[in-house]
Amino acid sequence: MSSTTLPVAGQASAAGSDLSEVRDWIALLKPRVLTLVVFTGLIGLLVAPGHIHPVLGLTAVLCITVGAGAAGALNMWYDRDIDAVMRRTQRRPIPAGRIAPNAALGFGMVLAVASVAIMGLATNWVAAGWLAFSILFYVVVYTAWLKRRTSQNIVIGGAAGAFPPIIGWAAVTGDVTLVPWLLFTIVFAWTPPHFWALSLWAHGDYARAGVPMLPVVEGARETRKQIVIYTVVLALAGLAPWLVGFAGPAYAAVAAALGGGFLYHAIRTWREKQDETGRSLVNDAAARRTFAFSLTYLFILFGALAIDRLVLG
Ligand code: HEM
Ligand SMILES: CC(C)=CCC/C(C)=C/CC/C(C)=C/COP(=O)(O)OP(=O)(O)O
C-alpha cells in the first residue's frame, strides 16, 4: 500500500514546489505594484490619438509589464541586504534564500533587454527608448543612487513610475507631446503622498535598514505637512487634461471630486491625534486610509480619462 501511495505523494509535493518556485519568480516582478503601473500605461495607449493594431497594442502593454517587472527584479537584487533587515520585505525570494542573487540579476537583465527590444520591433523606438530610460531610472537613479542617500529619494526617483503613460502614448504615436507629459506629472505628484502615507507607519523598518525616508530623517510631523502640499499639487495636476482641452467636463468633475477626496484624507492625516513628534496615537488610522485612497484615486482618475475620451468622445 505504502509503495503505491509514496510516489503519488512525492509527485504532488514536486508539483507543489514547482508551483511555489514559479510564484517566487513572479514575486520578483512586484506584481501587485505592477497592476497600477500597467493600468496607467494602458490608458496612455488608449487615449493617444491615432490607431494601433490590437495585437501590437497588447504587445506594447505586455512590454511595459515585463519591463517594469524586470526593473522590480533588479531592484530586489540590488536591495537584497536591506530587504533582509526590513520585516515587510524579508520574506522576499532573495533574502529568504529561495532565489540566488545572480539568478535574479540575470532574470531581470534578460527581461529588461527583451521587453525593450520587442517594444522597439513591435511599435517604435521612441516608446522602446522611454521604456529603457524608465527601467534605468528606477534601477540606477532611484534604487542604486538616491534611495539610500536622500529623503527626496522618492520625489526624484519616483519619476520612474510616472513614465508608463508616456510609453503607452508613444507606442501609438511615435512621439511625446504635452498631454502625455501632463499624465506623467499626475503620477509624479501622486507618488509622494502615496508613499509617505505608508511610510508614516512603516518608518521603523526603514530606520532599521538605514534608509533615509522622510519620516526617518525629518520626522512624522514634517512628513504629514509634505503629504498635504503634494496633494494640493496633485489635485491641480489632475485637472490639467481638462484645462488644456484634452478631456471634457465629466472628467473634470471626477478629477475635482477625487482631488477633494484625497485632500480630505491628507488633511485628516495631518491633523491625526499625535504626540509632539508627530507620531500617531491612533495606529496611523488616517495615514492608512490616505494610502488606500491613493490607489483608488489613480485607478479612477485614469479610468475616467479613458471613459471621457473613448466613450463620451
Ligand atoms: C518610488 C516610488 C514608490 C514607492 C517608494 C512605493 C512604495 C510602495 C510600498 C512600500 C508599497 C507597499 C507594499 C508593497 O511593497 O507592495 C506600495 C504599494 C503599492 N504601490 Fe507603490 N510606491 C511607489 C510608486 C508607485 C507607483 C508609481 C505605482 C503605480 C503607478 C505604485 C503602485 C502601488 C500599488 C498598486 C500598491 C499596492 C500593492 C498591494 O496591494 O500590495 N507605487 N508602494
Ligand atoms: C516602466 C517602468 C520601468 C516602471 C518601473 C517603475 C516602477 C516599478 C515603479 C514602482 C515603484 C516602486 C515599486 C517603488 C517601490 O520602492 P522600493 O523599491 O523602494 O520598495 P521596496 O521597499 O518595497 O523594495
Which value does ipTM take for this structure? Answer: 0.96
Verify whether ligand 1 is closer than 6 Å to residue 32 (CB atom): yes
**Single-letter residue type at 267:** I
User: Which residue's entry shows cell 477633494?
Assistant: 260
Residues 6+ apart with CB under 8 A from 111: 66, 67, 69, 70, 73
Tens digits of residue pLDDT in 100-118: 999 999 999 999 999 999 9
Distance (Å) from CA 81 to ligand 1 centroid: 20
Verify whether ligand 1 is closer than 6 Å to residue 43 (CB atom): no
Report the alpha-carbon distance of residue 116 to residue 125 in Å, rounded: 9
Verify whether ligand 1 is closer than 6 Å to residue 37 (CB atom): yes
Verify whether ligand 2 is closer than 6 Å to residue 163 (CB atom): yes
- Read off the pLDDT of each residue in 69-84 and give the average, rounded to a whole number: 98
pTM, two decimal places? 0.94
Confidence of residue 13 (pLDDT cuts 50, 70, 90): low
Contact 30, 66 (CB under 8 A): no
- Read off the pLDDT of each residue in 254-281 and give the average, rounded to a whole number: 95
Residue whose Cα lies nearest atom 1 of ligand 1: it is 158
Distance (Å) from CA 198 to ligand 1 centroid: 9
Verify whether ligand 2 is closer than 6 Å to residue 161 (CB atom): yes
Confidence of residue 241 (pLDDT cuts 50, 70, 90): very high
Verify whether ligand 1 is closer than 6 Å to residue 292 (CB atom): no
